[in-house]
Structure 1
Amino acid sequence: MTDQATNGAAQGETAQFSLQRIYVRDLSFEAPKSPEIFRQEWAPNVALDLNTRQKPLEGDFHEVVLTLSVTVKTGEEVAFIAEVQQAGIFLIKGLDPAAMSHTLGAFCPNILFPYAREALDSLVVRGSFPALMLSPVNFDALYAQELQRLQQGGEVTAH
């Protein structure tokens, strides 16, 4: 982040990053086969879908939303579906376009992930299922993969 801040500062503006607020934007839980699912042997198959999106707000403020969607099956039965949209408002200014893109696409989701993971675990436990305890996610690697995919598709020019 230091190199990115230096690049932005070289353009005459001091780089600035500040977390303003973290909040849950949406939360849902469904256990379509309860209570019958509790009487079956617990052999979970977990499918995780992870997504991020961002939108500019007024001035140099940005909202970043990290969505974690989990579908857990035991055998062919859906035990539960849970989703959390963990959001944050960030003040970000003085970064060049490539650094801004990386900050919004990887750095901010990395900050939001522990909050989203905790919210998801709490939700699942309240549904009387074992906590998921999701492994950490390397958002830098995911961001790099997405950039590469977009570049190969001709949607983005190299920075």
Structure 2
Amino acid sequence: MAENEGFVNAGETLANGEDTMPQVGLIAQYVKDLSFENPNAPAVYQWQGQPQIDVQFNIRADTLGEDVHEVALKIEVTATAEQGVAFKAELLYAGLFGLRNIPQDQMQAFLLAEAPRLLFPFARRVLADAVRDGNFPPLLLEPIDFGGLYMQQQAQAQALQSGETAGEA
């Protein structure tokens, strides 16, 4: 027992009444910006063949208050064919997350991997509906492994940092 002295178990309440259990809550999710362009309508509906689809995405996390963070998922889609651009769609979909008692070393992983994973299915549906409303077949994006991408990005950053450190010696 003496070796546990000074440590607080997960979920234990401190003497001042503060709960130490990590807590995450999705406060709200919303479309911040949505754009759909159909520059070659109505001719585009006569084009034969499948367009080439290019999908780009980006994640941004901002701290809005002590325990409140906004995570924004930006998805840009361009569909091109031999004749030109079939359509362009851009979506900025965000969520407000309340985070308490999350260790600082795990905060970035949550904001850049887990939060986008929670938002993605809803952003995917909004984008599919926008493309369908432009009179194209719904664009159903494949699931994205945000955790894997985060780990890959962290490994690249560490490799780059250790390479710079080795070069300075």
Return the TM-score normalized by structure 2: 0.82
Q: Measure the CA separation in 2 of the matches of 1:81 and 1:139.
A: 24
How far is the alpha carbon of 1:76 from its aligned partner? 5.0
Between the aligned partners of 2:117 and 2:91, the Cα distance in structure 1 is 15
**1:9/1:94 contact within 8 Å kept:** no
* Pairing 1:148–2:155 present: yes
5+ residue gaps in structure 2?
1-7, 15-19, 163-169
Q: State which drifts further: 67-76 or 100-109.
A: 67-76
* Partner Cα separation in structure 2 for residue 147 and residue 127 of structure 1: 38
Q: Which runs of 4+ in 1 moved over 6 A?
A: none
How much has 1:42 moved relative to structure 2? 3.4
5 Å-filtered alignment, 1:1-159, equals: 9=10, 13-75=20-82, 77-154=84-161
SS across alignment from 1:154: helix
Post-superposition Cα deviations, 1:22-55, rounded to whole Å, max 9, x if no partner, equal 1001100111111111111131211000110010
Q: How far is 1:98 from its partner?
A: 2.3
Residue deviations 1:84-127, cap 9 Å, x none? Answer: 11100000121222211110010000010011100000100111
Q: TM-score, normalised by structure 1?
A: 0.87
The aligned amino acid for 1:46 is I
Over the aligned positions, Cα root-mean-square deviation in angstroms equals 2.0
Distance 1:87 1:70 in 2: 17
When Rg is computed on C-alpha atoms for both structures, the one with the higher figure is 2
In 2, distance between residues paired with 1:149 and 1:111? 24
Aligned residue identity for 2:85: V
Change in Cα spacing, 1:76 to 1:36, as seen in structure 2 (3 Å) is closer
Q: In the alignment, is the contact (CA less than 8 A) between 1:8 and 1:15 conserved in 2?
A: no
Number of equivalences: 148
User: What letter is aligned with 1:45?
Assistant: Q
Helix, strand or coil for the counterpart of 2:127? helix
